[in-house]
């Protein structure tokens, strides 16, 4: 055990006095969640944290102890956790940053708190040289989740405070942390039902990834605040009068859409701020008579509202009959308001609202919630399944985790009517493995709503699925490309490995029997003759092909008698080549280790370049950035060039999260002479001369060179693609605006896939 300091009778300095003031505020804020006897535990944790971080400053210049106090306050005030979690929040950096060990924490506070702190402590040991430190930290944190969900909740509070104080970090660190937040932590908060925290993390990430866009949206929202409030009041008044007459105790408020969700809608629909119609959502929170009447009261309020406003039939979301996997319950509808705009309304009981705001943490308050506990158990079970796969590296694990647990969900039914929740875009084969690995291994087809389909058929919510099996079915490698869930991929991989192992065993036995018949002892000399003749490079490959019947061994006696000198030279030449390649890889790895120490504190300036000068800059093929786009750079650790991505590119966001140390802030200078290739997709109502009008606007009015134009018409509708040369994104946006004004054109969008 390390040298344990006394945590009592600490001398108070001015900084200590300020920390004491914040501590007292923390105790006041947690009075609803903790008992008087628990204050002693919180005080003990505070004293140890204050002493261990004494003299340490954050980058902002503030005493470090202010950070754990702030995290503890988020844990209690914004998530609603109790004394154990508050103590862990105060101690969360002690083991990582000071001389105290997990054993010390165990000695002072017991096994439970030590276990949670261990989950929160970053790994500083050795990992696989190709893995990401952030990915390994995240994986370890999830390992502890299967024992105590509070690890994740405290980690989210820690991340939220770091994002709130991110301004003091250099630009490259801001990009890295903001990218990691939008890639992992915001979706994780959403998955746990922490919507307020999720929205703030998204907004703060946008603030540092796209500061100009963020500031512009904040200004526009503030400018519209008074008008929006008048619209809320005008819309809500008839609803208030109607519900009050029904003697229902309720509260109504207008919830503004988050900045990130507004920006996201603008991106997805390619529309300006002014065309985002649902900037607000009305939330009605009522006091239920009892637990049994909640659902009926939701529909009663829905009925009262639709007596006033016309509902949009395809926008009813019944999350009270089938709650989301994270426990979220509410009834959503969209109605036509008095000003001709659609307005979303959310109807919840007080219990539902507590769960919606605080997620799984609120479920502990309602211990009778069997459904919620069952869904939490299912979620943790899925995490365990992913963690138990020893073969995936950290980055592969991150992708699997994000894909399976952060994606939208669908609900499908078994033939007996049992409900199964799966990620969106899952296939019938995913469903088969969700039922049982043996069902998946033997699946040959499926019936969706009584109609026969292939195993790669993509499921939709509400489908009833029946899996058809056969004992003669064999696992196929192609199946790995037909499934989406980690459970299915792991099961298929395990089955393939087991089958391969069985083939190797069978093939080895068969070869040894054949050699014995020929009175030949299996030796390295024998295998040097056999392997090249059968065009394999290892004994296992030979055994596997013999075991599967690909290699028959009918000519084995003839092969053993042949002079194979020439083939041996060619064969071992291949091996030498591979060995040399391996040597280069090792050298490259050493170089990448040195390269990984680089750091760009100031933005990389992307100037006008000619083809001869552009050897150290590559434009990413996944998003095709052009001058004027908001961009970041990725310094490939194994190469001497930087890849430029659009900052909103999914690949860039993933790289910011998993390989943040290689991210380079970047921006364009003015681009006057060179042109970049861009692609537009457009559609609209067909009419005579529509193609001529489009080309005239592009070539004559805007003097832009067209590389290729393709327009196809069918059933009175036209669809087309145009490839053209532009100087920068401003010119491209101007072009899109002018084309969209042409009569008959309905939609013009930039296609960001690379143009070759």
What pLDDT, on a 0 to 100 scale, did the predictor assign at position 388? 55
How far apart CA 562 and CA 573 sit, in angstroms, is: 20
Distances (CA, A) of 294 to 93, 302, 349, 350, 352: 43, 12, 7, 10, 9
* Domains along the sequence of the chain with CATH: 14-212 (1.10.3210.10), 218-369 (3.30.460.10), 374-488 (3.10.20.30), 495-593 (no CATH), 604-668 (no CATH), 676-751 (3.30.70.260)
> What tokens were used for 647?
């900052």
How far apart CA 504 and CA 514 sit, in angstroms, is: 15
Q: Cβ atoms within 10 A of the Cβ of 14, count?
A: 8
What pLDDT, on a 0 to 100 scale, did the predictor assign at position 376? 55
Tokens 């100087």, located at residue: 727
Beta strands in 449-582 (DSSP E): 451-453, 465-469
How far apart CA 290 and CA 303 sit, in angstroms, is: 20
What pLDDT, on a 0 to 100 scale, did the predictor assign at position 486? 79
Distances (CA, A) of 186 to 113, 257, 414, 650: 25, 16, 32, 15
Phi, psi (5° rounding) for residue 534? -95, 10
How far apart CA 756 and CA 754 sit, in angstroms, is: 6
> What tokens were used for 747?
């939609």
Beta strands in 219-279 (DSSP E): 250-256
Strands 717-726 and 451-453: unpaired
How far apart CA 244 and CA 461 sit, in angstroms, is: 37
Ranges of residues in the chain with a pLDDT under 50 are 1-12, 123-131, 364-373, 390, 564-601, 607-615, 672-673, 754-756
**Rounded-to-10 torsion of CA 92, 97, 99, 104:** 10
Say if residues 90 and 66 touch (Cβ distance below 8 Å): no
What pLDDT, on a 0 to 100 scale, did the predictor assign at position 241? 93
- Give pTM, 2 decimals: 0.60
**Rounded-to-10 torsion of CA 648, 651, 654, 656:** -60
Q: Do you know the residue count of the chain?
A: 756
Beta strands in 623-694 (DSSP E): 631-635, 642-646, 663-668, 676-685
What pLDDT, on a 0 to 100 scale, did the predictor assign at position 65? 93
How far apart CA 564 and CA 525 sit, in angstroms, is: 11
How far apart CA 440 and CA 431 sit, in angstroms, is: 8
Q: Where in the sequence numbering do the catalytic residues fall? A: 96-97
What pLDDT, on a 0 to 100 scale, did the predictor assign at position 207? 95
Tokens 């008579």, located at residue: 289
Tokens 């647990």, located at residue: 405
> What tokens were used for 170?
């250099």
How far apart CA 435 and CA 413 sit, in angstroms, is: 11
153 conformational bin, left if phi > 0, alpha if psi -120 to 50, beta if neither: alpha
Q: Cβ atoms within 10 A of the Cβ of 329, count?
A: 25
What pLDDT, on a 0 to 100 scale, did the predictor assign at position 12? 43
How far apart CA 64 and CA 55 sit, in angstroms, is: 8
**Rounded-to-10 torsion of CA 144, 150, 152, 158:** -120
User: What is the arrangement of strands in the sheet containing 451-453, beginning at the earlier edge strand?
Assistant: 451-453, 443-448, 465-469
Say if residues 617 and 606 touch (Cβ distance below 8 Å): yes
**Rounded-to-10 torsion of CA 268, 274, 278, 284:** 140
What pLDDT, on a 0 to 100 scale, did the predictor assign at position 22? 92
Nearest to 659 by CA among 155, 120, 131, 169: 131
How far apart CA 542 and CA 504 sit, in angstroms, is: 8
């Amino acid at each position: 055990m390390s040298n344990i300091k006394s945590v009592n009778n600490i001398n108070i300095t001015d900084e200590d006095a300020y920390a004491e003031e914040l501590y007292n505020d923390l105790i006041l804020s947690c009075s609803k969640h903790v008992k008087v006897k628990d204050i002693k535990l919180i005080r003990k944790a505070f004293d140890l944290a204050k002493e261990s971080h004494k003299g340490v400053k954050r980058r902002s210049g503030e005493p470090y102890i202010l950070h754990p106090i702030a995290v503890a306050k988020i844990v209690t005030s914004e998530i609603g956790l109790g004394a154990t979690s508050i103590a862990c929040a105060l101690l969360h950096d002690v083991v990582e940053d000071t001389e105290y060990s997990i054993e010390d924490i165990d000695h002072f506070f017991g096994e439970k708190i030590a276990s949670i702190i261990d989950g929160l402590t970053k790994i500083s040991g050795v990992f696989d040289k190709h893995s990401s430190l952030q990915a390994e930290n995240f994986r370890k944190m999830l390992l502890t989740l299967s024992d105590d969900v509070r690890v994740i909740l405290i980690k989210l509070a820690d991340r939220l405070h770091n994002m709130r104080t991110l301004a003091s970090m250099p630009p490259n660190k801001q990009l890295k942390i903001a990218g990691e937040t939008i890639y992992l932590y915001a979706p994780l908060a959403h998955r746990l039902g922490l919507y307020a925290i999720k929205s703030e993390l998204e907004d703060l990430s946008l603030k540092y990834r796209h500061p100009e866009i963020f500031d512009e949206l904040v200004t526009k929202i503030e400018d519209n605040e008074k008008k929006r409030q008048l619209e809320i009041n005008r819309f809500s008044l008839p609803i208030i009068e109607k519900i009050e007459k029904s003697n229902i105790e309720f509260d109504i408020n207008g919830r503004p859409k988050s900045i990130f969700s507004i920006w996201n809608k603008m991106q997805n629909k390619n529309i300006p701020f002014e065309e985002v119609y649902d900037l607000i959502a009305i939330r009605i929170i009522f006091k239920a008579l009892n637990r049994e009447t909640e659902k009926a009261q939701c529909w009663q309020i829905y009925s009262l509202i639709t007596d006033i406003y016309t509902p949009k039939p395809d926008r009813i979301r019944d999350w009270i009959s089938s709650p989301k996997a994270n426990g979220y319950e509410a009834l959503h509808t969209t109605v036509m308001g008095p000003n001709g705009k659609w307005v979303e309304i959310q109807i919840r009981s007080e219990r539902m609202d507590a769960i919606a705001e605080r997620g799984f943490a609120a479920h502990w308050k309602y211990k009778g919630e069997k459904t919620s506990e069952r869904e939490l158990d299912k979620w943790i079970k899925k995490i365990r399944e992913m963690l138990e796969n020893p073969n995936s590296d950290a980055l592969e694990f991150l992708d699997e985790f994000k894909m399976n647990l952060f994606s939208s969900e669908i609900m499908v039914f078994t033939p007996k009517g049992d409900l199964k929740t799966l990620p969106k875009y899952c296939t019938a084969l995913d469903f088969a493995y969700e039922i049982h690995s043996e069902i998946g291994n033997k699946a040959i087809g499926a019936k969706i709503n009584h109609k026969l389909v292939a195993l790669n058929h993509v499921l939709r919510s509400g489908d009833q699925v029946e899996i058809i099996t056969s004992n003669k079915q064999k696992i196929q490698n192609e199946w790995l490309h037909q499934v989406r869930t980690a459970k299915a991929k792991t099961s298929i991989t395990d089955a393939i490995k087991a089958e391969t192992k069985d083939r190797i065993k069978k093939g080895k036995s068969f070869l040894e029997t054949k050699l014995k018949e020929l009175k030949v002892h299996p030796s390295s000399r024998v295998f040097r003759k056999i392997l090249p003749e059968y065009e394999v490079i290892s004994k296992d490959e030979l055994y596997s092909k013999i075991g599967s019947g690909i290699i028959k061994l009918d000519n084995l006696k003839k092969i053993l008698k042949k002079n194979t000198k020439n083939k041996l030279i060619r064969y071992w030449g291949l091996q030498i080549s591979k060995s040399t390649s391996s040597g280069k890889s090792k050298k490259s790895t050493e170089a990448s280790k040195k390269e990984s120490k680089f750091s760009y504190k100031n933005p990389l300036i992307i100037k006008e370049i000619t083809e001869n000068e552009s050897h150290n800059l590559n434009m990413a093929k996944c998003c095709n950035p052009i001058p004027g786009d908001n961009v970041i750079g990725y310094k490939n650790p194994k190469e001497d060039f930087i890849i430029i991505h659009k900052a909103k590119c999914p690949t860039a966001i993933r790289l910011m999260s998993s390989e943040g140390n290689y991210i380079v802030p970047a921006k364009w200078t003015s681009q006057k002479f060179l042109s970049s290739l861009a692609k537009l997709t457009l559609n609209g109502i067909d009419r005579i001369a529509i193609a001529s009008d489009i080309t005239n606007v592009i070539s004559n009015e805007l003097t832009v060179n067209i590389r290729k134009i393709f327009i196809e018409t069918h059933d009175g509708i036209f669809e087309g693609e145009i490839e053209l040369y532009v100087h920068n994104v401003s010119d491209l946006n101007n072009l899109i605006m002018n084309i969209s004004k042409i009569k008959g054109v309905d939609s013009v969008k930039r296609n960001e896939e690379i143009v070759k």
